[in-house]
Amino acid sequence: MLKEWTSEALMDRMLFDSPVSIRIGPESTQREVTTVKGAYEALVDWPHAKRSGPLYREAVEIVSAALAGTRSHKAARQALVAAAEEIGILV
């Protein structure tokens, strides 16, 4: 039981308070990012030509730290939003 509770608590900690909508991919498909893991996956799928921006690199660091448990899900969400705004893919 404790293991299940711990997993649920971890998932709650990783869930964003509100989704982040971005347009990503070859067809600019809208994606709703709702978790730290989803933010990480979005950063992996980030347009290669747009990965050099400082906010993208910062988002990768913060989201990775959130997955490791050393940063908050709120910090991860804020970093993703900033990086998406930087390249104009935030919906």
Structurally, the chain folds into a number of domains equal to 1
Confidence of residue 36 (pLDDT cuts 50, 70, 90): very high
* Residue whose structure tokens are 């660091």: 61
What domain range is 17 assigned to? 2-87
Q: What was the pLDDT predicted at 5?
A: 43
Which stretches of the chain are DSSP H helices?
2-14, 36-44, 54-68, 73-87
- Measured CA to CA, the distance from residue 24 to residue 5 in angstroms comes to 34
Q: What burial letters (b/e) apply to 53-83, b meaning 16+ CB within 10 Å?
A: eebbeebbebbbbbbeeebebebbbebbbbb
Q: Using the predicted structure, report yes or no on whether residue 13 has a pLDDT greater than 70.
A: no
Q: Is the pTM of this model over 0.75?
A: yes
- Highest average pLDDT, of 5-9, 17-21, 22-26, comes from 17-21
Residue 67 has φ and ψ, to the nearest 5°, of -65, -35
